[in-house]
Structure 1
Amino acid sequence: MSPTVTPFSELLRRRSRADVPGAARWSGGAHDLLAGECDVADYADLLGQYAVVYDALERAAARMADHPVAAPFVTAQLTRMPAIRADLEYLVGPDWSELCCPTAATTAYVRRLNEVAATSPGGFVAHHYTRYLGDLTGGPTLARLLEERFGFDTNGVLFTIFDQVADPDAFEDTYRAQLDAAPWSAAEREAVLAEVDLAARLDRALVASLGATRAVGAPTAGLGSLPA
Structure 2
Amino acid sequence: MVLSDERQPAEPLSARLKNATREEHERTESAPFVAALLDGRLHRDAYTALLGQSYLFYRVLEEAGEAWRGDAVVGPFVSDDLVRCGALEADLEWLAGPGWREGLDPLPATRRYADRLRAVCFDSASAFLAHHYTRYLGDLSGGQIIRRRLRSVYDLTTDGVRFYVFDRVAKPKLFKDRYRELLDGLPWDAHEQENLLAEANEAFRLNRGVFDDLGKALEVGWTGSRSA
Provide the TM-score with structure 1 as the length reference: 0.88
Q: Contact 2:28–2:204 (CA<8 Å) still a contact in 1?
A: no
Partner of 1:220: none
Q: Contact 2:139–2:164 (CA<8 Å) still a contact in 1?
A: yes
Q: 1:140 aligns with which of 140, 144, 167?
A: 144
Q: 2:84 aligns with which of 76, 80, 98?
A: 80
Partner of 1:221: none
- Alignment of 1:115 with 2:95, yes or no, is no
Change (3 A) 1:183 1:20: closer
Change (3 A) 1:164 1:29: farther
Q: 1:60 aligns with which of 41, 64, 72?
A: 64
Task: Give the whole-Å Cα distance in 1 for the aligned partners of 2:28 and 2:61.
Answer: 24
The number of residue pairs the alignment matches comes to 217
Q: Contact 1:49–1:102 (CA<8 Å) still a contact in 2?
A: yes
Task: Give the whole-Å Cα distance in 1 for the aligned partners of 2:36 and 2:116.
Answer: 23
- Alignment of 1:17 with 2:22, yes or no, is yes
Q: Counterparts in 2 of 1:50-199, with a 5 A limit?
A: 50-199=54-203
Q: Counterparts in 2 of 1:206-225, with a 5 A limit?
A: 206-215=210-219
Task: Give the whole-Å Cα distance in 2 for the aligned partners of 1:29 and 1:62.
Answer: 34
Task: Give the whole-Å Cα distance in 2 for the aligned partners of 1:120 and 1:64.
Answer: 10
Q: Contact 1:106–1:206 (CA<8 Å) still a contact in 2?
A: yes
Task: Give the whole-Å Cα distance in 2 for the aligned partners of 1:185 and 1:130.
Answer: 21
- AA at the equivalent of 1:90: W
Task: Give the whole-Å Cα distance in 1 for the aligned partners of 2:42 and 2:9.
Answer: 46
Q: Contact 1:16–1:197 (CA<8 Å) still a contact in 2?
A: yes
- AA at the equivalent of 1:12: L
Report the structure, 1 or 2, having the larger helix content. Answer: 1
Aligned-CA RMSD value: 2.4
Describe the superposition over 1:157-200 as per-residue Cα deviations: whole angstroms up to 9, x where unpaired.
11111010011111001100111111111011001000000000
- Alignment of 1:34 with 2:37, yes or no, is yes
Question: Structure 1 stretch 157-166 or stretch 28-37: which is displaced more?
Answer: 28-37
Describe the superposition over 1:125-171 as per-residue Cα deviations: whole angstroms up to 9, x where unpaired.
00000000000112320111101210111111111110100111110
Q: Percent identity?
A: 40
- AA at the equivalent of 1:215: E
Describe the superposition over 1:50-82 as per-residue Cα deviations: whole angstroms up to 9, x where unpaired.
000111111110111112221011010001111
Gaps of 5+ in 2: 1-5, 222-226
Gaps of 5+ in 1: 218-226
